[in-house]
Chains A and B, each alone.
Chain A
Amino acid sequence: MTQAFELTVNGEHVRIETHPDTSLLHALRNDLGLKGTRFGCGLGLCGACFVRMDGQVVAACDTPMWSAEGRSVVTVEGLEPGEGLHRVQQALLDEQAAQCGFCVSGIIVNAATLLDTNPDADEATVVQALDRNLCRCGVQRRVVRAVLKARCEGPCHVTPEDAE
């Protein structure tokens, strides 16, 4: 009892035939071959599968396809148009802010969404946003440093408390 679902993924219109209860995560990974969105818990509790849906950061594992119909989804692969890296990705690479790297896709989507809407986000705001993401290797502080650095790429906004 599959059904056809139409949505936009990384700017492209796609049509996926699947069961309505199939998660967006599995549709992205298995039907579209977009493996960058990771399976971490299946319960929406760890953030490894975060994607942007109509501008909001959501857990793809917890999003059934019936609720993704007609929506616009951006995954880690689609944050930066073309081949390059989003500035959050570049900053993570520059700071070597990862160990196993499994949690970073979700962190990148979350942090990029934050900076796109709030380019002046201060440290407390970044930390608060990333509190929805778990990391087991213990690179949280490196990630925060990298995200704050990413904020200054392009037009740089340094707030007074950061300039100390």
Chain B
Amino acid sequence: MTVQREIVATPTLPQDLAANPVLSRWVTVHSDGTIDVRVGKVELGQGILTALAQIAAEELGVDIEQVRMPPANTARGPNEGQTSGSMSIIHSGSAVRAACAQVRAKFAAEAARGWDVDPDRVTVRQGVFRCDERAVSYGELAGLVDLDVAADPGAPLTSGDRSVLVGMSAARLDLPDKIAGRPRYIHDLALPGQLSGRVLRPPSPEARLLRVDESRLADLDVRLVRDGSFVGVVGADEAETMRAVKVLGDATTWEESDSLPDEDDLSAFLRSGPHETVEVLTPEGPEPEGRTISATYSRPFLAHGSMAPSCGIARWNDDGTLSVWSHSQGIHGLRAAIAQALDIDAERIEVEHAENAGCYGHNGADDAAFDAVLLAREVPGRPVQVQWSRQDELAWSPLASAMTADVRAVVDESGSVLSWRYDVWSQGHTSRPGYLGVPGLLAGAYLEQPWSYPAPGDPPAAAGAGTVRNGVPIYDFPDRGVTGHRLLETPIRTSAMRALGAYMNVFAIESFMDELALSAGADPLEYRLRHLGDARARSVLEAAARSAGWETPMEEGVGLGLGFARYKDKGAYCAVIAEVEAESDIRLRRLTIAVDVGRVVNPDGVRNQIEGGATQAASWTLKERVRFDRRRITSDDWESYPILRFSEAPEVFVEIVETPGAPSVGAGEAAQGPTAAAIANAVAAAIGVRVRDLPLTADAVVAAIEAAEG
């Protein structure tokens, strides 16, 4: 079984429409005039469904209120793979645009046929087709137009209608419910007959369950479920299952062993191998003669830290089918993984997306869904909702890998770069369900017949890579070598988190650019522009510098720092300037950001994504580090894994630099790396000390000062 989609290449249809060519998969027009637009992308808190609704409404020629965006579902709606990598606007946006343009053309043709006029004379506005004095609505035509037909590869990809809708800051469709406190999240679903499930995670990743003293649960109204070292409870009352799982913790005996690396020497762990080596850029010859400058940077393991612990719901139906509700980023991949794990036909499984709190990558969503599937198997016909605890969320979701990088440059007399060498070490950045040929679902490893897991992999270069994402600097250096080293023995479960390796690589490259500028006695902005031919890159950098007042002298102890990248080398350009005050502590006052995402679908959506991405990156950079001993993850609550608080959140100013005619690209991950580098560079500017190992805590600064003083 494979989760790879069959993509039928046609020269004209957008990729996702070519893969799901039947128009009725995407669009249903109801007789009351409402239009369902089904997409395979899911709402993760990023506002994607609002942006796609804007595109659909524009192409259809209707008001956005007329469009409904049902949740993605494997049985209905297109398969668009994962919602990840800032690709939704590119892939789903173009597919929705083309599909809706064809639907509109079919309805216009039907109107023209009824009136016996040339279709070119029919116009549509606010859902009403007109020609001369005649008018007919989508709803009135609904029964006459057959959408159970394949999209025409020869048809135009857009109606050409550029209403005012795309490019407007349409209000988010989902926020009224969420702000009013109405049920909207998967946690809030209460299906008929629904039971509550809880899983007792092992005390450590390598632990194996020896015994369960079932008598301890005798007084509790729950049912025990055990399969190998997977153990949980199901009951009618959630509070009771919570008490039961606590009792179960004391009623189980486990065999444990040490398996985790030394948290205080991650560099040695990452470099020890074995590795898969990926030569991204191979130098043409040896490095030239000249002054050599080098540095090493690192980041620790990071946690997703979604505000809601993962949740999943499953029901084994009487007809032998399985229904699953999940906040997964990829419902089709999850379906295939469940089918593989339990050796059942994927066609018998239906997965529907249900919204949850913000998702920043491959977190515990799929795992919680599989937990629910396993518990629900014991109570056929009843839906079981599994709620993870905060501790499980922080300790058992896949983490983002620790990384370390060596950078070396040879410079000429003016300090400009003659050659550049970059090596980065990391665990892989994806182990999504099905990705490595195995289900990849947490509980699978603890079953009586366990699944074993290969080391996490990296997406291919065409999908933006993982360890080496953004490992190639955007600058015009004459001689470049870039190599990635992916660990093949990985005791800590890692997978995709916002920007993957790009956060670390941009932090390292852009920190080093400042170190080179300092060594050349050059202004960091001027030094970058000196090496930068890309016109869009230059204007984004210059825009950020202008709005931040780059030339303005700072007071004592305050510094400005710059970070810049083009996400995945072909996505959004983003320049961040951080203003940091460093006295007894580091205070990030302000982030000034310029971004070029091509054609803007929703300006406030772009701003919100950039503000949020930069603020989250500030949290990673200033505070975050997954802690563990040799046996288990120990940072499992908000005290042991602190994140940015309101009093620490910087003011963020976002300027959108428009490039007319450039295709739309995603905004969700563009700010991560540049923000990290900007903060580190601002700290160096403020106090003259370079911190190369994240997080950039007050302790790290003190250590760097002591190291600098020798």
Contacts and interface: CB of A to CB of B under 8 A. Distances in A.
Contacts of A100: 44-45, 178, 307, 355-359
Which of A75, A76, A102, A108 has its CB near the most chain B CB atoms (within 10 A)? A102
Given A100-B44, A137-B612, A144 B307 contact: no
Given A46-B307, A134-B307, A35 B182 contact: yes
A41 B174 contact: no
A136 B645 CA distance: 9
Contacts of A45: 390, 637-639
Interface in A40-94: 40-43, 45-46, 48, 75-77, 85, 89, 92-93
Contact of B45 (A30, A85, A93, A99): A99
Nearest to A109: B181
6 contacts: A45-B390, A102-B357, A104-B179, A136-B616, A138-B649, A144-B646
10 shortest interchain CB distances as A-B pairs: A36-B181, A100-B45, A138-B615, A101-B178, A102-B357, A100-B358, A138-B612, A140-B649, A76-B181, A22-B239
Nearest to B387: A39
Nearest to A136: B307
Interface string A5-48: 00000000000001101110011011001111111111101101
Given A26-B242, A93-B179, 17 more contacts: A19-B243, A23-B239, A35-B185, A36-B182, A77-B180, A99-B608, A103-B307, A134-B307, A136-B305, A136-B360, A137-B45, A138-B611, A138-B616, A138-B618, A139-B615, A141-B651, A142-B608
A142 B306 CA distance: 19
A98 B604 CA distance: 12
Contacts of B169: 96
B308 interface: yes
Contacts of B228: none
A78 B309 CA distance: 25
Chief secondary structure at chain B's binding surface? loop
B172 interface: yes
Contacts of A153: none
B307 A77 contact: no
Interface in B297-321: 305-309
A39 B308 contact: yes
A114 interface: no
Interface string B153-188: 000000000000000010110111011111111011
A98 B175 contact: yes
Given A102-B357, A136-B306, A136-B616, A85 B180 contact: yes
Interface residues of A, number: 56
A138 B643 CA distance: 11
A158 interface: no
Interface of chain A, helix or strand or loop or mixed? loop
Interface of B: 44-47, 169, 171-172, 174-176, 178-185, 187-188, 190, 237-240, 242-243, 305-309, 355-360, 387, 389-390, 604, 608-609, 611-616, 618-619, 637-639, 643-647, 649-652
Given A99-B47, A104-B179, A141 B611 contact: yes
Contact of A102 (B239, B307, B613, B614): B307
B238 A26 contact: yes
A33 B172 CA distance: 25
Given A46-B307, A99-B46, A38 B185 contact: yes
B183 A134 contact: no
A105 B604 CA distance: 22
Contacts of A48: 307-308
B190 A33 contact: yes
A117 interface: no
B307 A40 contact: yes
B646 to A, nearest CB: 4
A131 B608 contact: no
A34 to B, nearest CB: 8
B179 A19 contact: no
Interface in A110-164: 127-128, 130-131, 133-144
Contacts of B612: 99, 137-139
B358 A102 contact: yes
Given A30-B239, A138-B611, A43 B638 contact: yes
B643 A136 contact: yes
B181 A37 contact: yes
Contact of B357 (A23, A108, A130, A136): A136
Given A19-B239, A139-B612, A35 B175 contact: no
A108 B616 contact: no
A149 B307 CA distance: 25
A99 B181 contact: no
Contacts of B242: 26
Contacts of A136: 305-307, 357-358, 360, 616, 643
Which of B357, B389, B644, B652 gathers the greatest number of chain A CB atoms within 10 Å? Answer: B357
A86 B612 CA distance: 25
B358 A38 contact: no
A26 B239 contact: yes
Contacts of A96: 169, 171-172, 175, 604, 608
A131 B645 contact: yes
A93 B359 CA distance: 21
B608 A139 contact: yes
A77 B615 CA distance: 29
A17 B293 CA distance: 70
Nearest to A21: B243
B468 to A, nearest CB: 26
Nearest to A102: B357
B708 to A, nearest CB: 32
A131 B240 CA distance: 32
Nearest to A145: B651
A35 B47 CA distance: 22
